[in-house]
């Protein structure tokens, strides 16, 4: 994967330290308070990747800066209260990964009243005066999921089969983009979308219930594949099918390259996930947050796009997602250090690791 390696190396070089600044807090001071507001804990990435990488990078760039961290546990009212608390505690910038789009717009409005800039992180806040947006091309994520599923079914001679779609949360703009990208591929194929669900809160438990409903309605032998919007919903769908005795499991998509998903892929339970270099995303957010908290512009070249949020063209950093299947686990998430062999190759997955050719798996299996 030389092009992948070159791309990620380039991005790693892109996310470098910003200037030290001078003057008052919020206008060039060497210290600042940066609020990181994350949406939930059901998706493993937020606590295992986004939070630690963001906080570490802030401290590297600005040792005297303080990160005011909050997680809303998928509660929009709680996130509003956390944002208000951050503003009360003199936050110089809010980095907001929104639970709910409507509530998020009011958070942005309240921050603007206090003269505090807002970075929309991962999920685009619509109809609000945000200052920057940092994410992946989420419509591209959906099309990658849809195309990889379609290719798998074509290879299996099931290109005209029946599939179930388990989308993300209806309150998340990313879920709408994923759905649009997936439909852009699947609607033009011979596949039949027999049932489609939106999954409140991206809940794996609710995804499992939805898949159980689809199995009851369609019959377990009539489902050729499952489009699941992320790895949590994929896990729920797979649990439902295993509980109903489906064997072999049909191809199931995912997103986020969660550890459990990588293990399921190696074991043949989940067909694919989408790897998003969350470390680079969190580091880029930290660089922008530190810069604007000091009253500086982000370093030239970091912002690489604009995205319209129905109010304005928002300066944006958009990173490129990568489809991961069993064939390229080693060249993607392992090679990049997103997960180590020791983390992936526990005793239960030793045989799967050996079959995938993961390096030195015996030393940790």
Q: What is the tens place of the pLDDT at every residue in 254-277?
A: 999 999 999 999 999 999 999 988
The pLDDT, as a whole number, for residue 360 is 65
- pLDDT of res. 43: 85
Rg over alpha carbons for the chain, rounded to the nearest Å, is 21
Supply the pLDDT for residue 121.
97
Three-state helix/strand/coil letters over 1-67: CHHHHHHHHHHHHHCCCCCCCCCCCCCCCCCCEEEEEECCCCCCHHHHHHHHHHHHHHHHHCCCCEE
State residue 139's pLDDT score: 93
Taking the mean position of all CA atoms in its chain, how far away is CA 162? 27
Q: How is the chain split into domains, by residue range?
A: 2-136+278-319, 138-275+323-363
Question: Which CATH code for domain 138-275+323-363?
Answer: 3.40.50.2300
Average pLDDT over residues 137-162: 96
Q: Per-residue pLDDT tens for 24-50?
A: 344 344 589 999 999 999 888 899 899
pLDDT of 4 > 50? The answer is no
Check: CB of residue 196 under 8 Å from CB of residue 219: no
Asked whether the predicted pLDDT for residue 118 surpasses 60, the reply is yes
Q: What is the pLDDT of residue 358?
A: 87
Tokens 């001078």 locate to 22
Residue 76: its pLDDT value, please?
Answer: 95
Q: What confidence tens digit (pLDDT) does each residue in 169-215 have?
A: 998 989 999 999 999 999 999 999 999 999 999 999 999 999 999 99
pLDDT for the residue 23: 32
* Residue 2 pLDDT greater than 80, yes or no: no
Q: What is 171-198 written as a DSSP string?
A: T-HHHHHHHHHHHHHHTTSS-EEEEEEE
The mean predicted confidence, pLDDT, of the chain is: 90
Superfamily of domain covering 2-136+278-319: Response regulator (3.40.50.2300)
pTM of the model: 0.79
What percentage of the chain reaches a pLDDT higher than 90? Answer: 80
Name the pLDDT band for 103 (thresholds 50, 70, 90): confident
Return the minimum-mean-pLDDT range out of 36-40, 99-103, 134-138, 193-197: 99-103
What the block records as the tokens of 266 is 């190696």
Question: Do 138-275+323-363 and 2-136+278-319 fall under one CATH topology?
Answer: yes
Tokens of 182: 């997936």
Mean pLDDT of 266-290: 95
Residue 10, pLDDT score: 46
Sheet with 162-167, strands from edge to edge, namely 192-198, 162-167, 225-228
7 pLDDT higher than 70: no
- Per-residue pLDDT tens digits for 153-182: 999 999 999 999 999 999 898 999 999 999
Helix ranges (DSSP H) in the chain: 2-14, 45, 51-61, 76-88, 101-113, 138-155, 173-186, 204-218, 231-243, 259-267, 278-293, 341-344, 350-356
Q: Which of 327, 336, 331 is nearest to 265 (CA)?
A: 327
Beta strands at 118-121 and 93-96: parallel, antiparallel or unpaired: parallel
């Amino acid at each position: 994967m030389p092009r992948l390696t070159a791309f990620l190396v380039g991005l790693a070089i892109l996310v470098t330290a910003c200037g030290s600044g001078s003057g008052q807090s919020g206008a060039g001071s060497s210290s600042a308070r940066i609020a990181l507001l994350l949406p939930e804990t059901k998706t493993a990435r937020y606590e295992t990747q986004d939070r630690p990488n963001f906080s570490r990078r802030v401290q590297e760039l600005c040792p005297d800066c303080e990160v005011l961290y909050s997680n809303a546990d998928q509660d929009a009212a709680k996130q509003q209260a956390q944002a208000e608390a951050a503003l009360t505690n003199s936050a110089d910038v809010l980095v907001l990964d929104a639970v709910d789009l409507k509530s998020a717009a009011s958070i942005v409005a309240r921050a603007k009243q206090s003269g505090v800039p807002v970075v929309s992180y991962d999920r685009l806040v619509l109809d609000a005066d945000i200052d920057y947006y940092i994410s992946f091309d989420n419509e591209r994520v959906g099309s990658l999921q849809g195309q990889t599923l379609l290719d798998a079914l074509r290879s299996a001679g099931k290109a005209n089969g029946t599939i179930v779609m388990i989308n993300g949360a209806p309150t998340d703009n990313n879920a709408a983009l994923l759905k649009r990208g997936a439909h852009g591929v699947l609607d033009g194929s011979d596949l039949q979308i027999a049932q489609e669900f939106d999954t409140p809160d991206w809940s794996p438990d609710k995804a499992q219930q939805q898949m159980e409903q689809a199995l009851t309605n369609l019959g377990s032998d009539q489902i050729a594949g499952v489009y699941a919007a992320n790895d949590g919903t994929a896990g729920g769908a797979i649990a439902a099918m295993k509980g109903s005795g489906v064997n072999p499991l049909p191809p199931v998509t995912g997103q986020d390259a969660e550890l459990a998903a990588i293990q399921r892929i190696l074991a043949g339970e989940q067909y694919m996930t989408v790897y998003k270099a969350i470390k680079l995303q969190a580091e880029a957010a930290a660089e922008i947050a530190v810069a604007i908290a000091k009253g500086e512009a982000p370093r030239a070249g970091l912002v690489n796009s604009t995205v319209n949020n129905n109010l304005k063209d928002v300066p944006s950093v958009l990173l490129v997602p990568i489809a991961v299947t069993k064939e390229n686990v080693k060249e993607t998430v392992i090679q990049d250090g997103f997960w180590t062999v020791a983390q992936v190759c526990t005793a239960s997955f030793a045989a799967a690791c050996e079959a995938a050719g993961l390096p030195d798996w015996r030393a940790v299996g």
